[in-house]
A and B are shown apart, each in its own frame.
Chain A
Amino acid sequence: SYEVTQPPSVSVSPGQTASITCSGDNLGNNYASWYQQKPGQSPVVVIYQDYKRPSGIPERFSGSNSGNTATLTITGTQAMDEADYYCQVWDSRSVVFGGGTKLTVL
């Protein structure tokens, strides 16, 4: 079955840029989505269809997907962005989540 891999953790200073990667074979051939999840809350989609932002998601969130890697970028990271982030793809009739990346803002 298809698998995607994320780094377990990423750290960033406030105001700096955070990049979280999601790797999988020919991932660029599939649409990638990204979710933010804070403790005790439901996941919130911050990027879908590789780079699109849902209404209400700040412009500092952006996405790209090419080759074997999808990337979530947070520009001007704020303390409120500290959360777990998951990539998700659809492949061969299955939804696949990455293992998640804990973003620490310090």
Chain B
Amino acid sequence: QLQLQESGPGLVKPSETLSLTCTVSGGSISSSGYCWGWVRLPPGKGLEWIGSVYYTGNTYYNPSLKSRVTISVDTSKNQFSLKLSSVTAADTAVYFCARQDSSYGWYGDFWGQGTLVTVSS
């Protein structure tokens, strides 16, 4: 069974860079037909897609966050990572990583448990 696990600091200071890693187990991040994405859930709000990456390194970003987001993949470690720069309190959210089926609408079929990141000084 595929499993995804987010890791990274739970507290980030304003203006700094949020960094998270998603470790994939029980399957290969290099599987064709899938991409690997980040989604967040701010408190009291709805799900927001941040961006996705193929194992080849090709990336797709939410236009509203594109200027601050970098997503990368490390196939040797079966991991992919998120960096979000110049964070503010509005970036406080539970961050999820997910596998997305890129053949039929990029839906997320496997998700991590999520990790809360708070932006505060």
Where the two chains meet, the residues of A that have a C-beta atom closer than 8 Å to any C-beta of B are 1, 30-33, 35, 37, 42-45, 48-49, 54, 84, 86, 88-90, 93-100
Contact = CB atoms under 8 A, between A and B. Distances in A.
B2 interface: no
A70 to B, nearest CB: 11
Interface in B1-59: 37, 39, 41, 46-49, 52
A88 B111 CA distance: 15
Contacts of A94: 49, 60, 62-63
B107 A48 contact: yes
Contacts of A42: 96, 111-114
A84 B48 CA distance: 14
Interface residues of B, number: 26
A contacts with B: majority SS: strand
B105 A32 contact: yes
A54 B46 CA distance: 23
A37 B47 contact: yes
A49 B103 CA distance: 9
Contact of B109 (A31, A48, A86, A100): A48
Contacts of B108: 33, 35, 43, 45, 88
A86 B109 CA distance: 14
A35 to B, nearest CB: 7
B47 A33 contact: no
Given A42-B111, A42-B112, A94-B60, A49 B104 contact: yes
A33 B105 contact: yes
A41 B63 CA distance: 27
A88 B46 CA distance: 12
Contacts of B37: 95
B49 A35 contact: no
